[in-house]
Structure 1
Amino acid sequence: MAEIQTLARRQEIGREARERAKRSLHAQIGDTDRDPIELLRQNSAGRVKALVPLRYGRMSVSPFTFFRGSAVLQAHDLAATVNTGITFPICGDAHLSNFGGFATPERQLVFDLNDFDEVATGPWEWDVKRLAASFVIAGQHMGVSNGPIGDFVATVAHEYRDRMREYSAYSTLDLWHEIVTFEHMMDTAATEEGRRLLLKTKEKAVGRTNESMLARMATQDNGRWSLLDAPPALFHPAGPNTLLGKDEAWSNTTAWDGKLASAFDDYLGTLSTERRALIEQFELQDVAFKVVGVGSVGTFCLVLLLVDGHGAPLFLQVKEARESVIARYFPTEAVQRQGQRVVSGQRLLQAASDAFLGWTTGPAGREFYFRQLRDMKVSAEVERMNNTIMQGYARICGWALARSHAKASGKAIEIAAYLGSGNRFADALTEYAFAYAEQNEKDYGVFVRACRSGKIQARSDEDMAADFRI
C-alpha cells in the first residue's frame, strides 16, 4: 500500500502547485488557432452518417447548444493552458445541463453530475472552466446582462472553493458517503423561491419512471410489447424507418439470439451477483435505436424494453462509448475498453450510481455502456430560470462538482490549499468564462456560415421527421 502523507505535506503540495500554475493564469483560454469545422468533422467520424446532419442541426439552434455539442473544441484549447498537475478522472463535459436529479438504488433523489461520456484523467480545473463558461454562454443566450452573469460564475467558483475546503476536513469514509440530496438542498436553499422549485422538481421526478414511459413509447399486441417508431428520434434499426445503412442495421430482435445476446451476456458479467439475479427476472421485448442529447447524436444508442413476470417494464439505455476528448488532448494511461472507462468514471465521481450500470463490446467492435433510460431523472430547465434561480443553480452545481472531485481524487486537501481563501481563482475564472464565451460565439458564427453555405449539412428534428410523413 502507498505511504500516507501528512496533512501538512498535502497542503504544501497544493500551495506548491501555484508555482506551476499561478491562479491568475487560469484566465487564459488557450490555443484557439484551429479550424472548428475540421475538429467537429473529426469528432463525427464513425457516427451514423444519416444522423450527423441532425447533430449539426441541434447544435445550430444557439451558441449554447453549439457549446454543448463541441466539447472537443474546448478540450483542444485547454490543452495549451497551464494546469495544476493535480489530475484524476474528471467528468470532461461538466456544463450546466449535465447536472441533474436521479434516484439512487435506495430510491433517494439526489443531485449530481449525470453525463460521463467524456470522463478521463485530466486537470480538475478543466471541469470547473467548462462549467463556468456554460453559465456565461447560457446567460447571454437568455438575455441576462453581464453583471448578474459574472455573479453566477463567481458563485460557482466560491461554492467550489468553500465546499472543497469543507471536504478537506472529512475523513475518507465520510467523504465517500457524502451525498447531495434534494432534502439537503432544500434545507440550505437561500430563498423561498428556490425551495419551492426544488420541491416541485422533486415531485416531478417521482412521476418519471419506467411505468410512466411504457404507454408513451410502446404498444402491446398478443401479450408482447413493441416500441413505437418516432423517427428520427426512435426507430427500429432493421425496420422501414431505419436511418442506418445496410452495414449498420444489426440491432433487431432477430439478431438478438446471436451477436447481441453475446454482448448482453458480457454486460451481465460486469454487474455484481445480486444485480445479475435482478435483471435475469426480466425478459426482452424489443430493441430500438434512440437518438439522445446534442453531443451524442450519431453515436450508436439503443433502448431495450424488458418486462418482468408481472408485466412491469424496465427500460435500459445502451450508449456507445467512444474515445474521450479529454484523453485526446490530455493523454495519460491507455484505455483498453471505452465502456469500462465510462462506467468506472461514473462510479467514482457520482455519490451513487445506477443499479444497472455496466459495459460491453458489441457487434463491429463498438463499445457500449448500459444504464436505465429513466429512473426519476430530471434536468434543469435553464431557459425558464430567472436570475435568482440561476444564482442558486450555480451554487448547487459548484457544490456538486466539488463533491465529485473530492471523492474521485482523494485530493480535497491539495485542491483546497491551492485555491486558498481569497478571490484570485474566482476572478481568473470569471475572466476566462467571458473570454471563452466570446470565442464560442466566434466558433458558432463559423459553424452557422458553414451550414448555410452547404459546407456541412445541418437538419432539424422537424425536417428529418417530415421525411417519414405520408
Structure 2
Amino acid sequence: MLLYGGSAAQAQTSRTSWVVTQIYDYNHPFAATDSTDLATKMATMAGDAFSFYRGTAHIFYQDMRTLPASKYTTTQTGLTWIGGDAHIGNFGAWQDSSGNNVFSVDDFDEGYLGQYVWDLRRLATSMVLVGRANNIADSDITTAINTMVAAYVKEMNTFMGSSDELSFQLKNGNTSGVVQDTIGDSKGDSRSSLLNKYTQVTNGARSFQNIANTLVAVNSTTYNNIANSMSSYISSIASSKQYSSSYYKVKDIHQKLGSGVGSLGKLRYYVLIEGPSTSTSDDVILEIKQETSSAVSEASSNGATLLSADDGNDAARVAMTNKAQTLNADVLVGYATINGMNFYFHEKSPFEEDFDYTQLTSAGKLNTAASYLGQALASAHAISDQDYNSAIVQYSIDKQVTNAVTSTSGLESEISTFAFSYAAQVNLDWQSFVGAYQSGTSLY
C-alpha cells in the first residue's frame, strides 16, 4: 500500500519525513507537562510495530482521509458513534454497575461520530500485527478477521428492528477461550487487592504509596486544584446517580505514570476518595485523565454534532462515549476542567482486567476470540445510536449498517485486504520511527 505517489523509494522517503513530523506535532504540546511519560511512550513505541500502532491513532485517521472509502458505507453509517481506537488491546472485562462481569470495549478516549468500518479496519489491522507477533500464519489471521467481521455483521442484523442490543452482554456463560478466562479473572478480583497494590493504611488512615515510575506525589498546587474540581465533577454526574457528598471526600492524590501507550504524555492522576463508609476497606480510587481532541476528527466532521452537545469539552465527549457504549455504565463517570485542561473521571475498577492478546497463541484461540471481538464492537455501535440519544445519532445504526452491508463475504474480503496492506504500512512507518528514535531526532 503506497500512500504517496511516485516510485516506492520516493514514496517511502516522503512518508518517513511525514511520519516523524506527525509524531512530533502530536506529542510536542504535552512536553512541558509530562515529558517523563513521553519518554516512556517513545521507548515503548520503538519496541514493536503493534506498540507503535497503538501510539499513532492520529496517523491512522490522517490516512483515512486519503485511502479509498469502503463499498459498504452510506452517509447514514458515517454517523456511527465509534470508539475510534478499536485495536485488540482496547477490549477487556469489568464489573458493570449492576454487578455483572462482562467483556466489552473498554477505551473511549477517541470516541466520535464516523464510519463504522474505521473501527473494523483498525481492529483488523491490530489482529494482523498481534497474530504475526504470536507466530500465527497469515491464512489463519485472515480466517480470524473474517470471523470477526461476520460476527459483527450478524450481531448488527440481530439487533436490527429489535431492542436486543439493550440487554446483550458477553458474560462467562456465553463465551469461551481467552475471553472467558478474562471474565473469570475479573470475577476473581477484589477491592482489597487493588487497594493493597496502590495504597497503605497508617494510623487508621489510608493513603497512596509512592511507587517509583508508577505512582508519585503531587505538589500542593496540583493537589488543591484537583481537590477543588470535585464539586464540578460531581455536578457532571446525573443527580439520580450521585452519592452523598461524603462519598466523594478526597483522602489523597497521586500522579499515575506509565499507563497505556497512546495516552502517554497526557496527565493522569489517581484520587483516593472515602467511598460508601468511613471504613478504610471500601475506599474508592478515581482515575482522571487529561483529554484532548479525538484523532477521528482528522477524518470526520460529523463529530460536530456530538461536540455541540457538550460545549466542545473533550472530557465530556469521552464520558459520554463511555456511557453511550456500555450497558450499566460506571456511575462515577464524569468530567471537570482543572487548570484549564479537560479531565475525564471514572473509577479505577478493582474488577477490571485487560484482554491479554499475548495469550492468543494459536489459530484456534485467535479465531474464537475474534467472534467475541466482533460482537462486542457491534454492541458498542448499536447501543450508542438513537437508543442512547437521538439528538446525537438520529438513526438506528444497526439497521443502517445491515442495509449497507450488501455482501458479508464482500465486507470480509475488503476488511482483511485492507488490514494486511495497512499492517505493511505500519511496519514501514515503525521502522522509520525507530530510525529517527535511534538517531536522536526530536520526537516531542
Name the TM-score, length of structure 2 as normaliser.
0.86
C-alpha separation in 2, matches of 1:432 and 1:279:
51
Partner of 1:325: 295
The runs of 5 or more residues in structure 2 that have no matched partner are 5-10, 386-395
Amino acid paired to 1:314: V
**Is 1:181 aligned to residue 164 of structure 2?**
no
The runs of 5 or more residues in structure 1 that have no matched partner are 1-27, 239-248, 459-470
Is the partner of 2:384 in helix, strand or coil?
helix
CA contact (8 A) 2:170 2:376 kept: no
Q: Displacement of 1:277 after TM fit?
A: 2.1
C-alpha separation in 1, matches of 2:296 and 2:99:
32
**Is 1:382 aligned to residue 357 of structure 2?**
yes
Q: What are the residue-to-residue correspondences of 1:15-414 with 2, within 5 Å? A: 34=15, 35-47=18-30, 48-80=34-66, 81-82=68-69, 84=73, 85=75, 86=77, 87-171=79-163, 174-175=164-165, 177-186=166-175, 189=176, 194=177, 197-238=178-219, 250-252=221-223, 255=224, 259-278=225-244, 280-291=246-257, 292-307=259-274, 308-311=277-280, 312-332=282-302, 333=304, 335=307, 336-363=312-339, 365-385=340-360, 386-409=362-385, 410-414=396-400
Partner of 2:8: none
C-alpha separation in 2, matches of 1:203 and 1:441:
34
- Given the superposition, is the C-alpha separation of residues 184 and 403 from structure 1 closer, same or farther in structure 2, using an over 3 Å criterion? farther
Partner of 2:406: 420
C-alpha separation in 1, matches of 2:157 and 2:105:
20
C-alpha separation in 1, matches of 2:112 and 2:294:
7
Amino acid paired to 2:262: G
Q: Displacement of 1:75 after TM fit?
A: 0.7
C-alpha separation in 2, matches of 1:350 and 1:402:
12
C-alpha separation in 1, matches of 2:279 and 2:42:
42
- Given the superposition, is the C-alpha separation of residues 262 and 283 from structure 1 closer, same or farther in structure 2, using an over 3 Å criterion? closer
C-alpha separation in 1, matches of 2:42 and 2:411:
34
CA contact (8 A) 1:357 1:369 kept: yes
Is the partner of 2:243 in helix, strand or coil?
helix
Partner of 2:388: none
Partner of 1:5: none
C-alpha separation in 2, matches of 1:162 and 1:96:
20
Which region of structure 1 is more displaced relative to structure 2, 432-441 or 157-166?
157-166
CA contact (8 A) 1:30 1:78 kept: no
How many percent of aligned residue pairs carry the same amino acid? Answer: 22
C-alpha separation in 1, matches of 2:179 and 2:105:
17
Q: Displacement of 1:274 after TM fit?
A: 4.3
Is the partner of 2:26 in helix, strand or coil?
helix
C-alpha separation in 2, matches of 1:202 and 1:416:
29
Amino acid paired to 1:151: T
**Is 1:443 aligned to residue 418 of structure 2?**
no
- CA offsets, 1:42-90, max 9 Å, x none? 2213321232111111111211111111111111101123253222321
Q: Displacement of 1:129 after TM fit?
A: 0.5
Name the TM-score, length of structure 1 as normaliser.
0.81
C-alpha separation in 1, matches of 2:348 and 2:2:
36
CA contact (8 A) 2:103 2:183 kept: no
Which region of structure 1 is more displaced relative to structure 2, 400-409 or 219-228?
219-228
CA contact (8 A) 2:55 2:261 kept: yes
Q: Displacement of 1:278 after TM fit?
A: 4.6
- The number of aligned residues is 404
Q: Where has structure 1 moved over 4 Å in runs of 4 or more?
A: 28-34
C-alpha separation in 2, matches of 1:198 and 1:393:
6
CA contact (8 A) 2:23 2:443 kept: no
Q: Displacement of 1:199 after TM fit?
A: 5.0
Q: Displacement of 1:116 after TM fit?
A: 0.6
- Given the superposition, is the C-alpha separation of residues 209 and 283 from structure 1 closer, same or farther in structure 2, using an over 3 Å criterion? farther
Amino acid paired to 1:414: Q
Amino acid paired to 1:38: T
Q: Displacement of 1:421 after TM fit?
A: 4.2
Is the partner of 2:380 in helix, strand or coil?
helix
> What is the CA RMSD across the aligned residues, in angstroms?
2.1
- Given the superposition, is the C-alpha separation of residues 93 and 279 from structure 1 closer, same or farther in structure 2, using an over 3 Å criterion? farther
C-alpha separation in 2, matches of 1:202 and 1:278:
31
